[in-house]
Amino acid sequence: DAKTTQPPSMDCAEGRAANLPCNHSTISGNEYVYWYRQIHSQGPQYIIHGLKNNETNEMASLIITEDRKSSTLILPHATLRDTAVYYCIVRPGMDSSYKLIFGSGTRLLVRP
Amino acid sequence: GAVVSQHPSWVICKSGTSVKIECRSLDFQATTMFWYRQFPKQSLMLMATSNEGSKATYEQGVEKDKFLINHASLTLSTLTVTSAHPEDSSFYICSARLTGSADGYTFGSGTRLTVV
């Protein structure tokens, strides 16, 4: 499986955009980039995923570089409730045999 | 949407006793479930994969005789921590494979186990 590298922690001010980077230089052609977050003492929550095009949903935007070796999750207007650990995972789409493996993630602190 | 109900949300037990954690899929059949463990300030670590009607597959380093997993029906998987010790205190999370969801998975809310 391709591995990801994320900064251990970041912070941003409430109301500002939070940009969370992820490096996945060994990603292969059939692997997608998925983002999850885990708010303290809760189960992980799916945020967004993409293959090579940029994606946007009601929670966030995902920007994937053209070479697909890195991506950025953007929370456009961070709120205090966005304080969480964010995990970037690369995986082969909806492969039914895949086990979801979490890396160390980025701990995002949104400051008032 | 589809929900995985995990119980209890927290439990305190005495050292040497066993604790059972339930993970129940609501409104869908979960043929495959996953169990994770998470220590404070650390990431989720996959413990095992359970498939309905067959033996669970454990990840390397996870003691299958200590962490008993049963997946006897399409809606229920259980994790029993046997002869629990303080070092087993952790946050345990189940997940079910869910076809039709955006990412193919849904997670329980977790169980915080404290062994005293």
Question: How high does pLDDT run on average in chain B?
Answer: 93
Distance of CA B68 to the CA centre of its chain: 10
Radius of gyration of chain A (CA): 13
Distance CA B41, CA B31 (A): 31
Q: What is the pLDDT of residue B103?
A: 82
Q: What is the pLDDT of residue A34?
A: 93
Q: What is the pLDDT of residue B101?
A: 79
Distance CA A94, CA A101 (A): 14
| Residue A2 pLDDT exceeds 60 | no
Say if B101 is an interface residue toward chain A (CB within 8 Å). Answer: yes
For A33, nearest residue in chain B (alpha carbons): B103
What percent of chain B is modeled with pLDDT above 90?
Answer: 78
Higher pLDDT, A73 or B31: A73
**Residues on chain A touching B44 (C-beta within 8 angstroms):** 38, 44, 102
Question: Checking phi first, is residue A93 left (phi over 0); if not, alpha (psi -120 to 50) or beta?
Answer: left
| Tens digits of residue pLDDT in A42-51 | 999 999 999 9
* Contact (CB, 8 A) for A39 and A83: yes
**Residues on chain A touching B62 (C-beta within 8 angstroms):** none
- Which among A100, A103, A104 has CB closest to B105? A100
The pLDDT confidence band at residue A39, using thresholds 50, 70 and 90, is very high
Distance CA A42, CA A102 (A): 15
| Tens digits of residue pLDDT in B3-32 | 899 999 999 999 999 999 999 999 888 889
Q: What is the pLDDT of residue A46?
A: 93
| Tens digits of residue pLDDT in B50-75 | 988 889 999 999 999 999 999 989 99
Distance CA B98, CA B34 (A): 12
The pLDDT confidence band at residue A94, using thresholds 50, 70 and 90, is low
* β-strand partners of A20: A73
> CA-based angle A25:A49:B30, to the nearest 5?
115
- Which among A46, A49, A104 has CB closest to B43? A104
| Residue A58 pLDDT exceeds 70 | yes
Q: Tell me, letter by letter, the H, E, C secondary structure of B2-18.
A: CEEEEECCEEEECCCCC
Q: What is the pLDDT of residue A50?
A: 94
Q: Which two tokens stand for residue A24?
A: 């996945």
